[in-house]
């Protein structure tokens, strides 16, 4: 119960702060409303028979909407914790939080909760607009498989976000890692185009980006309704990522915090 109250406290605080800037929230929703038809009309330029899209059913609009919505959500998951740590550093509240009896995972989860919820709502808005107004076909989608892939990728992204937060704690600088990871993901992970069209060296590198199996599996599940055995390679790779990234990120974040406490820089921001 204690942990639930702690996470709820962060959620209420962040909602109260976000509420004071409703314009920002409204603007983000408006941007999506304009972006979706743009993608639709770009999609109409690309012939359905394009071979590299065949594995996903050939529809570029659905392919791009899923890629953008999901990668945007994951970028928010990755960046949320580091951004929150930086805000607490600059506001002088990190020192206060470090004197309170809350664990590091609870602080990280609490501080990321609302930004991740809002990002999830935005991503959902993309897909809902696509389904309702531009006829994305989800009648045969494997929702359970898609949900499993989303959950695993969210865990991996959260772990990568902890590395970024560790950087902010140690170096007391704005997080550069999330931007790099999001950029690499967009280029190699298949957000806007299938990884099959990449040159062979880039295609090889793409295998080491968690977004690649995540988007591939998600698109197969949603666009083709792929069954569980078909999704196993993507799910297996994501499980490996979870097994490696989660403990490594927790150890790294703990080490960063210990080092910052030891050197007396945990609460500084300059």
Partner 1 sequence: MIEIKSIGKTYRPPFWGLAGFGRGLRKVDALREVTLSVGRGEIFGLMGPNGAGKTTLLRLLATLLPPSRGGGRIGGADLVRQAATVRRLVALASGEERGFYWRLSGRENLEFFAGVLGISPSAGRRRADEVLELVDLLPMAHQPVAQYSTGMRQRLGIARALLGTPAVLLLDEPTRSLDPMNALGVQTLVGRLAADWGTTVVLATHNLDEAERICSRVAILVDGTLRAVVGAGGRDQSLASQYSTIVAVG
The residue ranges that bind partner 1 (CB under 8 A) are 1-3, 5-6, 8-10, 12-13, 16-17, 20, 91-93, 95-103, 110, 170-171, 173, 258-267
Q: Min. distance of Cβ 211 from partner 1 in angstroms?
A: 29
Query: Between residues 200 and 264, which has the closer beta carbon with respect to partner 1?
Result: 264
Q: Min. distance of Cβ 257 from partner 1 in angstroms?
A: 11
Q: Min. distance of Cβ 160 from partner 1 in angstroms?
A: 20
Query: Between residues 2 and 47, which has the closer beta carbon with respect to partner 1?
Result: 2
Distance of CA 251 to the CA centre of its chain: 21
Which ranges in the chain belong to alpha helices (H)?
Answer: 2-19, 22-45, 60-91, 93-98, 104-134, 143-171, 177-188, 200-206, 211-219, 228-263
Neighbours of 229 (CB within 10 A): 7
Query: Between residues 4 and 139, which has the closer beta carbon with respect to partner 1?
Result: 4
Question: For residues 50 and 60, is the Cβ–Cβ distance under 8 A?
Answer: yes
Q: Min. distance of Cβ 179 from partner 1 in angstroms?
A: 18
Instruction: Please name which of 207, 174, 219 lies closest in space to residue 67, comparing C-alpha atoms.
Output: 219
Query: Between residues 53 and 260, which has the closer beta carbon with respect to partner 1?
Result: 260
Query: Between residues 86 and 216, which has the closer beta carbon with respect to partner 1?
Result: 86
Q: Min. distance of Cβ 75 from partner 1 in angstroms?
A: 25
Q: Which two tokens stand for residue 95?
A: 């020192």
Contacts of 69 (CB under 8 A, 6+ apart): 122, 123, 124, 126, 127
Q: Min. distance of Cβ 110 from partner 1 in angstroms?
A: 8
Neighbours of 270 (CB within 10 A): 7
Report the C-alpha gap between 33 and 149 in whole angstroms.
Answer: 26
Q: Min. distance of Cβ 8 from partner 1 in angstroms?
A: 6
Query: Between residues 28 and 265, which has the closer beta carbon with respect to partner 1?
Result: 265
Query: Between residues 44 and 173, which has the closer beta carbon with respect to partner 1?
Result: 173
55-84 core/surface letters (b: 16 or more CB in 10 A; e: else): ebbbbbbbbbbbbbbbbbbbbbbbbbbbbb
């Amino acid at each position: 119960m204690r942990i639930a109250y702690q996470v709820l406290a962060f959620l209420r605080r962040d909602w109260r702060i976000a509420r004071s800037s409703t314009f920002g929230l409204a603007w983000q929703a408006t941007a999506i409303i304009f972006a979706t038809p743009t993608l639709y009309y770009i999609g109409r330029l690309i012939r359905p028979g394009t071979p590299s899209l065949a594995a996903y059913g050939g529809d570029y609009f659905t392919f791009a909407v899923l890629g953008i919505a999901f990668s945007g959500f994951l970028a928010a998951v990755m960046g949320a914790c580091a951004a929150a740590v930086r805000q607490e550093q600059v506001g002088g509240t990190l020192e206060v939080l470090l004197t309170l009896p809350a664990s590091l995972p609870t602080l990280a989860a609490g501080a990321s909760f609302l930004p991740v919820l809002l990002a999830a709502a935005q991503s959902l808005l993309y897909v809902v607009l696509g389904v309702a107004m531009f006829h994305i076909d989800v009648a045969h989608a494997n929702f359970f498989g898609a949900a499993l892939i989303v959950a695993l990728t969210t865990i991996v992204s959260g772990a990568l976000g902890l590395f970024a937060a560790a950087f902010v704690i140690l170096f007391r600088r704005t997080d550069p890692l999330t931007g790099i990871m999001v950029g690499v993901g967009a280029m190699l992970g298949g957000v806007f185009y299938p990884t099959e069209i990449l040159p062979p060296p880039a295609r090889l590198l793409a295998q080491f980006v968690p977004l690649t199996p995540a988007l591939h599996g998600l698109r197969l599940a949603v666009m083709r309704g792929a069954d569980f055995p078909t999704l196993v390679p993507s799910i297996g790779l994501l499980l490996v990522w979870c097994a490696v990234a989660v403990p490594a990120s927790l150890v790294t974040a703990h080490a960063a915090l210990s080092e910052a406490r030891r050197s007396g820089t945990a609460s500084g921001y300059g």
